[in-house]
């Protein structure tokens, strides 16, 4: 037994000595760590990590968001800022969603070119181009809207511009804003006033969406090289200010849309009589007027006139087919308007025009 106890004591000393030394070393390490200074905010490292990352993202966006935004993002406004400042793409954003208290577009900004933030549709723009009519720019020799036709005016000679996408002689290098300005304000790429032969008084009425569709259609035209001569005018055209701020979207109500389409098609140019100064007399709007060797008829539903004797469906059919209900064809110049413009409109739009004409106050007129 004494030998067993002696061996046990020796074994205990062998095991306890390393454990004692290890314990002292561990206590020394803990005391050393406890005495080190704590970095400010170290206890809150998790809480501060996310705000720092967010601030970095937001700072990057502020420096690059307006400079590196792609053309698609600029035209659709399809971005929104989340709570962390990260920009994400959205689809189908409404106008209300796009406009916030601090970033919304004012009406004046829209009138002077904020429409450029919308994305245009070339096919829809071709429809608008047909209605507005760009025939003055058509070059028969080149078979394209390459311009060159000469127009005599009271102040000299001007020429139809090349409106194809050619970058040197056409519109290929024009920005969206420059194209918006030519249609809204009648200004060329250098800010000069275009002669009112180009009907910017009419195109200034285009809703933002339709204007950007028209611009998309122009950009889709094949480029055709044609250097158009400089105009020769005795005086510069007067600046133009639109009478109204255009809407974001074209009207959809039948009568209101009909009025919109009639204005874009410039029906009043032939059917509204002129006053003593040669300006349209809108107190007798669309009540008929002398036209070349004929008379543009009264389009108001005055008793005994064509529109008073026709239903809306009959008016729409006439504008589409160019034939009266008795089989008589419409003659020039209205025949050309029907062939090149109204025959290409949808049935819905033709009925909208008819509804507008039937809604006009009747005006007795003897052109």
Q: Domain for residue 32, yes or no?
A: no
Q: In the prediction, which pLDDT does 194 show? A: 92
* Domains of the chain: total: 2
Q: Are residues 202 and 136 in the same domain?
A: yes
Q: Does residue 94 sit within a domain? A: no
Instruction: Give the pLDDT score at 199.
Output: 85
Q: Which residues pair with 79 in a beta bridge?
A: 89
49 in any annotated domain: no
d(CA 92, CA 102): 21
- Segment 114-123 shows an average pLDDT of 72
pTM confidence score: 0.68
pLDDT of residue 361: 95
**Is 211 a domain residue?**
yes
Q: What is the pLDDT of residue 67?
A: 36
Per-residue CA distances from 149 to 173, 230, 236 (Å): 22, 12, 20
Distance CA 209, CA 45 (A): 50
Residues 197, 293 within the same domain: no
Helix (H, G, I), strand (E, B) or coil at 88: strand
Examine the pLDDT at 32 and tell me if it is beyond 60: no
Report the pLDDT value the prediction gives residue 256, as an integer from 0 to 100: 98
State pLDDT tens for residues 238-247. Answer: 999 998 899 9
Interval 157-193: pLDDT, tens? 999 999 999 999 999 999 999 999 999 999 999 999 9
Q: Look at residue 147 and tell me if it is in a domain.
A: yes
Lowest mean pLDDT among 29-33, 86-90, 280-284: 86-90
Residues 123 and 207 in one domain: yes
Q: Where are the alpha helices (DSSP H) in 224-366?
A: 254-265, 268-271, 312-321, 334-340, 347-359
Range of the domain at 338: 254-359
Domain assignment present for 50: no
Q: Which distant-in-sequence residues (6+ apart) come within 8 Å of 44 by Cβ?
A: none
Same domain, 122 and 197: yes
Residue 124 shares a structural domain with residue 198: yes
- Asked whether residue 95 is assigned to any structural domain, the reply reads no
Extended strands (E) in 161-241: 232-233
Containing 295, the helix (H) or strand (E) segment is strand 294-296
Indicate whether 217 and 279 sit together in one domain: no
Q: What's the CA gap between 234 and 142, in Å, rounded?
A: 30
State the average pLDDT over residues 294-315: 92
Of 233, 267, 293, the domain-final residue:
233
CA dihedral sign, ordered 189, 192, 196, 197: negative
The three-class DSSP label of residue 229 is: coil
Read off the pLDDT band of 301 (50, 70, 90). very high
Q: What is the pLDDT of residue 251?
A: 97
Q: 124: Cβ–Cβ under 8 A, 6 or more apart, which residues? A: 210, 213, 216, 217
pLDDT for residue 99 is more than 70:
no
Residue 93 has pLDDT above 90, yes or no: no
Confidence bin at 212 (pLDDT 50/70/90): very high
Same domain membership, residue 258 and residue 175: no
14 has a pLDDT exceeding 70: no
Task: Single out the residue of 74, 99, 17, 85 nearest to residue 51, CA to CA.
Answer: 85
Last residue of a domain, one of 198, 233, 268: 233
Q: Is the pLDDT of residue 13 over 90?
A: no
The more confidently predicted of residues 197 and 120 is 120
Shared domain check, 214 and 135: yes
Domain match, 138 and 207 both: yes
Q: Could you report the per-residue pLDDT of 324-360, keeping only the tens digit for each?
A: 988 999 988 899 999 999 999 999 999 999 999 999 9
Q: Among the three residues 233, 262, 292, which one is the final residue of a domain in this structure?
A: 233
Q: 313: domain CATH number?
A: 1.10.760
Residue-wise pLDDT tens digits, 252-278: 999 999 999 999 999 999 999 998 888
Determine, yes or no, domain membership for 249.
no
pLDDT digits (tens, 9 = 90+) for 218-241: 999 999 999 999 999 999 999 999
pLDDT band at residue 89, thresholds of 50, 70 and 90?
very low
Is the four-CA dihedral 242, 244, 247, 251 of positive or negative sign? negative
pLDDT score of 306: 81
Looking at the fold, whether 214 and 282 belong to one and the same domain comes out as no
Q: What string of DSSP letters covers 113-142?
A: TGGGGSPP-HHHHHHHHHHH--GGG-BTTT
Same-domain status, 211 and 159: yes
What would the DSSP string read from start to end of 25-68? HHHHHHHHHHTSPPPTTGGGHHHHHHHHHHHHHHHHHHHHTTTS
Tell me what the pLDDT averaged over the chain comes to: 76
The C-alpha atoms of residue 349 and residue 320 are separated, in whole angstroms, by: 11
Reported as a pLDDT band with limits 50, 70 and 90, residue 123 is very high
Same structural domain, 144 and 213: yes
């Amino acid at each position: 037994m004494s030998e067993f106890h002696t061996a046990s004591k020796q074994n205990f000393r062998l095991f306890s000595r390393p454990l004692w030394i290890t314990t002292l070393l561990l206590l020394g390490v803990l005391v050393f760590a406890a005495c080190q200074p704590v970095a400010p905010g170290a206890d809150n490292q998790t809480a501060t990590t996310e705000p720092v990352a967010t601030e970095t993202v937001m700072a990057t966006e502020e420096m690059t968001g307006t400079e590196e935004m792609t053309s698609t993002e600029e035209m659709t406004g399809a971005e929104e800022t989340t709570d962390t400042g990260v920009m994400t793409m959205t689809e189908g954003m409404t106008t209300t969603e796009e406009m916030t208290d601090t970033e919304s577009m004012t009406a004046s900004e829209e009138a002077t070119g904020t429409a450029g933030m919308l994305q245009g549709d070339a096919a829809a723009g071709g429809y608008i181009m047909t209605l507005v009519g760009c025939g003055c720019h058509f070059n028969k020799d080149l078979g394209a809207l390459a311009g060159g036709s000469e127009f005599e005016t009271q102040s000299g000679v001007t020429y139809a511009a090349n409106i194809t996408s050619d970058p040197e002689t056409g519109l290929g290098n024009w920005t969206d804003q420059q194209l918006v300005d030519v249609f809204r304000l009648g200004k060329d790429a250098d800010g000069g006033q275009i002669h009112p032969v180009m009907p910017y008084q009419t195109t200034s009425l285009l809703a933002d969406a339709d204007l950007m569709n028209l611009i998309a259609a122009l950009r889709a035209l094949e480029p055709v090289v044609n250097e158009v001569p400089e105009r020769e005018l005795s005086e510069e055209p007067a600046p133009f200010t639109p009478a109204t701020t255009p809407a974001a979207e074209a009207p959809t109500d039948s009568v209101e849309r009909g009025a919109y389409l009639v204005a874009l098609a410039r029906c009043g140019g032939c059917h509204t009589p002129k006053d003593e100064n040669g300006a349209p007399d809108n107190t007798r709007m669309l009540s008929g007027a002398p036209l070349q060797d004929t008379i543009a008829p009264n389009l108001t539903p005055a008793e005994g006139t064509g529109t008073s004797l026709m239903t809306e469906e009959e008016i729409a059919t006439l504008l589409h087919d160019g034939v009266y209900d008795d089989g008589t064809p419409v003659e020039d110049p209205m025949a050309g308007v029907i062939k090149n413009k109204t025959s290409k409109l949808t049935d819905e739009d033709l009925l909208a025009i008819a509804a507008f004409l039937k809604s006009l106050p009747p005006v007795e007129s003897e052109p």
